[in-house]
Amino acid sequence: MLTTQSYLIALLLYWGAAIGGVWLLKRLWFADETGRDAAALLGAIAGLLLAPAFPGEGVETLAPALITVIFNMLFGEGPASAVWPGVWLAAGTLAGAVVGLRWRRRRLPATT
């Protein structure tokens, strides 16, 4: 069994890879001025990848919500065990889309 410190290091590495992936998407797919749809999509992808799953009682692991939902659906107790991580995943995706739209609006030049 891994220690708490090793789980935290793995989670930080995952978040670093997710942030790097979103940065690459921004640079390669959305290189020119990002429209509203692209900003919302990029934010939703970031939220999807970065949403945490809070462990329940008696759970000693820590993982991103996307991984938790997939593993609980496939190898856990089925859809019932993936409900709460799925709620966190949906909330993270929605929050990412909102942040992406607000970020785009903040970066737009002021029109007078």
Q: Residues 87, 53, 45, 80: what is their CA dihedral angle, to the nearest 10 degrees?
A: -40
Does any domain span residue 83? yes
What pLDDT band is residue 107 in, cutting at 50, 70 and 90?
low
Closest among 83, 92, 85 to 44, alpha carbons compared: 92
* Mean predicted lDDT score pLDDT of the chain: 81
Residue with token string 């462990």 = 55
Q: Is the pLDDT reported for residue 108 higher than 80?
A: no
Does any domain span residue 35? yes
- Domain residue limits at 87: 4-107
What pLDDT band is residue 97 in, cutting at 50, 70 and 90?
very high
Total domain count for the chain? Answer: 1
Does any domain span residue 112? no
Does any domain span residue 21? yes
